[in-house]
Amino acid sequence: MPNYTAPVEDMMFLFDKLRNNRNYNEIEKYKDVNTELVKDILVEAAKINENIILPLAKIGDENPTVLENGIVRTPPGYKEAYSKYIEDGWTSLSCDPKYGGQGMPKTVSAFFDEMLSSASLSFKLYSELSIGAYNCIFHHATDEIKNKYLPKMVEGKWSGTMCLTEPVCGTDLGLLKTKAKEQSDGTFKLTGQKIFITSGDHDLTENIIHLVIARATDSPNGTKGISLFLVPKFIVNEDGSIGARNGVSTGSIESKMGIKGSATCVLNFDDAVGYMIGSKNKGLNAMFTMMNLERIVVGIQGLGISEIAYQNSLSYAKERKQGKTNNTKSTNGADCIIEHADIRKSLLNMKSIIEGERALCFWLSQQTEVSLYHSDEKIKKEASDFVSLMTPVVKTMFTDMGMEITSDAMQVHGGYGYTKDQGIEQLYRDNRITPIYEGTNSIQAADLVFRKLVNKNGDIINRYLDMIKNDINIEDEKLKPFVEDFNSNIKILSHFTTWMKEKIQKSKDDASAACNDYLKALGFVAIAHSWIKVLEVSFKDHNNNKNFYEDKIQTAKFYFKRVLPRVENHFKTAITGSDYIMNFNFK
């Protein structure tokens, strides 16, 4: 089983030193969220993740969730861990105090999401969609529904799901077949089948609140006829107690490559009672409140799995002896593999990407809070645009890099990495779903290019590039070489952006073939921007915590010399066009 130590020191560094975002600091509701409080939360979060949840990863992989006589049973130990999890209030961390939540900002809850992803992604998924469902209900449901369902969901006694995919449609939701027939009392009866439903059924909570997209019988075809419905597993009585079983049943549980402790279900809806959320035929607008949050959270899953893969690779490299280096330190004929240049390069690649991603995630969490709660509408709108731009980037970059990092972790471990004993191959398998979840990464890249670069709110990408260029206008000689590298890559990205906008108008195949390259180029630049902010603090406060900051400086140096140059490669690849791709004759 892999070992794991939550990176509390690095998280607290971000919270303490990179919280200098004026717009974020102007949010009144978070004035009392201080260093001491956050550190207490993260220390306790580390304890439950390291000691209670981490062992569940291996248990769930070896004892997958099963469906027995219509009942879904989670792996051994899950029930006990979940009881402790909700007893300690972890489901309520970022929820509104009005419904029993603790009201912590996403700058804090994102750290907890990362820890939980590192410890056991399968276990995490039983509560993750509940928070997404909570947010959707919170923003779009009536007060009556909020008061009836949210307190129990915040407490963790009830969980939530997102039911979109059907056998006939994945991303193209306009093809869905699930029907909703309105009743005389204003409720609806839903009939249809949903597949790949994460935590669709289980034995951890008293009730499961499904958010289901369906088409009312009098609605038009396509996406314009989709509505959103709340469909509980058990009907909730007027007094809040649980009543009769609703018309929702589990047809089967998917047999998967990874996350085997998570119940990925086929759900059948047979005249199931549902309650419309939001306006009729506007279901996708409401559901995207949940989906966009989930895309960021899925990115954090990739980050969390990368972190535990790196930690175990580093530990193994310090112990495993193999071969001699040019400057051998061995007295018995072999050096630890961490002395080999190629292994060191792999480890630094992991470390520089992970720490840069964590800093970028912290920045995005700040922007999310500003987009929701700042008092100035203009500032809120700009932050919302930046969140919209960076959501597909974080989802895709963090999960794709998670695949690269877990693959490299297996390579560092050699043959032991391929066996089940070390647990590294499980990290690779568990992470493999993250580039697919919530719209595959190719779809995320297309969304970025065709919907986010320029839209009804104007030229978002150039506003973002102007913002980060202004943000690094720092007078510090030590930072100068990093800033020069950064600026040269911004120029490449700017050229790439101009090329991409032209191709969107003139040759959509060229643009489509370049989407993934463009997203990666933007992602590596965004991470570099976060590293510049980290370096600014590291050079300024170097003498206060010399070892910590020197580590940051050297890690950043690797990123700028070995990782950031990928931007140019993606640009050169993309501008070769698509003719030789589209004209190829597959046989």
The torsion angles phi and psi of 239, rounded to 5 degrees, stand at -85, 5
Q: Which of 353, 339, 341 is nearest to 309 (CA)?
A: 353
Q: Which two tokens stand for residue 338?
A: 């961490």
Enclosing H/E stretch for 268 = strand 264-277
Write the Ramachandran bin of 482: left for phi over 0, alpha for psi from -120 to 50, otherwise beta: alpha
Catalytic residue among 166, 369, 438, 536: 438
Could you tell me the CA-to-CA distances from 2 to 7, 8, 56, 186, 424 in Å, in that order? 15, 18, 11, 52, 7
Length of the chain: 587
- In the three-class reduction of DSSP (H, G, I as helix; E, B as strand; rest coil), residue 274 is classed as strand
b/e map of 223-259 (b: 16 or more CB within 10 Å)? bebbbbbbbbbbbbeeeeebeeebbbbbeebbebebb
Contact 386, 393 (CB under 8 A): no
Residue with tokens 């979060």: 45
Q: Which of 284, 275, 272, 273 is nearest to 227 (CA)?
A: 284
Distance CA 60, CA 161 (A): 20
Question: Which residues are 272's β-sheet partners?
Answer: 190
Q: Which two tokens stand for residue 330?
A: 């061995």
Contact 50, 33 (CB under 8 A): no
Q: Which of 129, 171, 168, 111 is nearest to 304 (CA)?
A: 111
Name residue 478's amino acid: K
Contact 289, 391 (CB under 8 A): no
Angle of helix 341-373 versus helix 377-413 axis, rounded to 10: 160
Residue with tokens 């890099």: 401
Beta-carbon count within 10 A of 565 CB: 14
* Catalytic residue flag (residue 438): yes
Q: Which residues are catalytic?
A: 438
